[in-house]
Amino acid sequence: MHMILRITLIVSGFITLFLGILGIVLPLLPTTPFLLLSAACFVRSSDRLYHWLITNKWFGKYIRDFREKRGIPLKAKIIGVSVLWVSMFSSAFFFVDLWVIRVLMILIGAFFTYVMLSFKTLR
Protein backbone atom coordinates (compact mmCIF):
# COMPACT_ATOMS: atom_id res chain seq x y z
CA MET A 1 0.00 0.00 0.00
CA HIS A 2 1.23 3.46 -0.77
CA MET A 3 2.81 4.96 2.38
CA ILE A 4 0.83 8.25 2.23
CA LEU A 5 -2.49 6.37 2.04
CA ARG A 6 -1.45 4.12 4.93
CA ILE A 7 -0.49 7.10 7.11
CA THR A 8 -3.71 8.90 6.18
CA LEU A 9 -5.77 5.86 7.21
CA ILE A 10 -3.89 5.49 10.51
CA VAL A 11 -4.36 9.19 11.36
CA SER A 12 -8.04 8.97 10.35
CA GLY A 13 -8.40 5.87 12.52
CA PHE A 14 -7.06 7.69 15.57
CA ILE A 15 -9.20 10.77 14.90
CA THR A 16 -12.37 8.69 14.60
CA LEU A 17 -11.37 6.67 17.66
CA PHE A 18 -11.00 9.90 19.63
CA LEU A 19 -14.40 11.11 18.38
CA GLY A 20 -15.94 7.76 19.32
CA ILE A 21 -14.52 8.02 22.83
CA LEU A 22 -15.88 11.57 23.09
CA GLY A 23 -19.23 10.21 21.95
CA ILE A 24 -19.41 8.13 25.11
CA VAL A 25 -19.80 11.28 27.20
CA LEU A 26 -21.23 13.76 24.66
CA PRO A 27 -24.82 12.81 23.88
CA LEU A 28 -25.07 14.11 20.30
CA LEU A 29 -21.80 12.61 19.12
CA PRO A 30 -22.43 9.01 18.00
CA THR A 31 -20.05 6.44 19.45
CA THR A 32 -20.70 3.36 17.33
CA PRO A 33 -20.19 4.83 13.84
CA PHE A 34 -16.90 6.44 14.85
CA LEU A 35 -15.58 3.25 16.47
CA LEU A 36 -16.59 1.23 13.42
CA LEU A 37 -14.96 3.76 11.11
CA SER A 38 -11.81 3.61 13.21
CA ALA A 39 -11.78 -0.18 12.89
CA ALA A 40 -12.28 0.11 9.11
CA CYS A 41 -9.33 2.52 8.84
CA PHE A 42 -7.08 0.29 10.94
CA VAL A 43 -8.00 -2.95 9.15
CA ARG A 44 -6.88 -1.35 5.87
CA SER A 45 -3.69 0.18 7.24
CA SER A 46 -2.27 -1.71 10.22
CA ASP A 47 -2.94 -5.25 11.43
CA ARG A 48 -1.37 -4.38 14.77
CA LEU A 49 -3.62 -1.36 15.40
CA TYR A 50 -6.73 -3.23 14.24
CA HIS A 51 -5.93 -6.13 16.58
CA TRP A 52 -5.30 -3.68 19.43
CA LEU A 53 -8.65 -1.97 18.79
CA ILE A 54 -10.85 -5.05 18.63
CA THR A 55 -9.14 -6.66 21.64
CA ASN A 56 -9.24 -3.46 23.72
CA LYS A 57 -10.89 -4.10 27.10
CA TRP A 58 -13.12 -0.99 26.96
CA PHE A 59 -14.58 -0.98 23.46
CA GLY A 60 -13.22 -4.04 21.66
CA LYS A 61 -16.16 -6.25 22.63
CA TYR A 62 -18.54 -3.44 21.69
CA ILE A 63 -17.04 -3.25 18.17
CA ARG A 64 -16.95 -7.03 17.74
CA ASP A 65 -20.55 -7.44 18.94
CA PHE A 66 -21.83 -4.73 16.64
CA ARG A 67 -19.82 -6.00 13.67
CA GLU A 68 -20.78 -9.66 14.15
CA LYS A 69 -24.31 -9.43 15.56
CA ARG A 70 -25.46 -6.00 14.30
CA GLY A 71 -26.74 -4.99 17.72
CA ILE A 72 -26.13 -2.98 20.87
CA PRO A 73 -26.18 -4.42 24.42
CA LEU A 74 -29.22 -3.48 26.52
CA LYS A 75 -27.03 -1.81 29.16
CA ALA A 76 -25.41 0.44 26.50
CA LYS A 77 -28.85 1.40 25.16
CA ILE A 78 -30.15 2.29 28.62
CA ILE A 79 -27.07 4.34 29.49
CA GLY A 80 -26.98 6.03 26.08
CA VAL A 81 -30.65 7.04 26.05
CA SER A 82 -30.51 8.15 29.70
CA VAL A 83 -27.44 10.33 29.25
CA LEU A 84 -28.90 11.76 26.06
CA TRP A 85 -32.14 12.87 27.69
CA VAL A 86 -30.58 14.15 30.92
CA SER A 87 -28.21 16.27 28.82
CA MET A 88 -30.94 17.42 26.44
CA PHE A 89 -33.43 18.41 29.10
CA SER A 90 -30.87 20.11 31.33
CA SER A 91 -29.44 22.02 28.37
CA ALA A 92 -32.83 22.92 26.89
CA PHE A 93 -34.44 24.14 30.09
CA PHE A 94 -31.51 25.58 32.07
CA PHE A 95 -29.24 27.05 29.40
CA VAL A 96 -31.41 27.88 26.39
CA ASP A 97 -33.93 30.72 26.36
CA LEU A 98 -35.38 30.43 22.86
CA TRP A 99 -38.30 27.99 22.63
CA VAL A 100 -37.46 27.22 18.99
CA ILE A 101 -34.04 25.93 20.03
CA ARG A 102 -35.62 23.93 22.85
CA VAL A 103 -38.01 22.25 20.42
CA LEU A 104 -35.15 21.59 18.00
CA MET A 105 -33.09 20.00 20.78
CA ILE A 106 -36.00 17.75 21.77
CA LEU A 107 -36.50 16.70 18.13
CA ILE A 108 -32.79 15.93 17.77
CA GLY A 109 -32.92 13.91 20.99
CA ALA A 110 -35.93 11.99 19.72
CA PHE A 111 -34.14 11.22 16.45
CA PHE A 112 -31.03 9.87 18.19
CA THR A 113 -33.18 7.89 20.61
CA TYR A 114 -34.91 6.30 17.63
CA VAL A 115 -31.55 5.50 16.03
CA MET A 116 -30.20 3.87 19.19
CA LEU A 117 -33.35 1.88 19.84
CA SER A 118 -33.70 0.75 16.23
CA PHE A 119 -30.67 -1.54 16.48
CA LYS A 120 -31.15 -5.10 17.70
CA THR A 121 -30.75 -5.49 21.48
CA LEU A 122 -28.01 -7.91 22.52
CA ARG A 123 -28.42 -9.70 25.83
Torsion sign across C-alpha atoms 36, 41, 43, 47 = negative
pTM: 0.60
| Tens-digit pLDDT profile for residues 54-87 | 998 888 877 887 777 777 778 778 877 887 788 7
Torsion sign across C-alpha atoms 38, 28, 22, 54 = negative
Rounded distance between C-alpha atoms, residue 2 and residue 4, angstroms: 6
- Give φ, ψ of 120 to 5 degrees: -60, 140
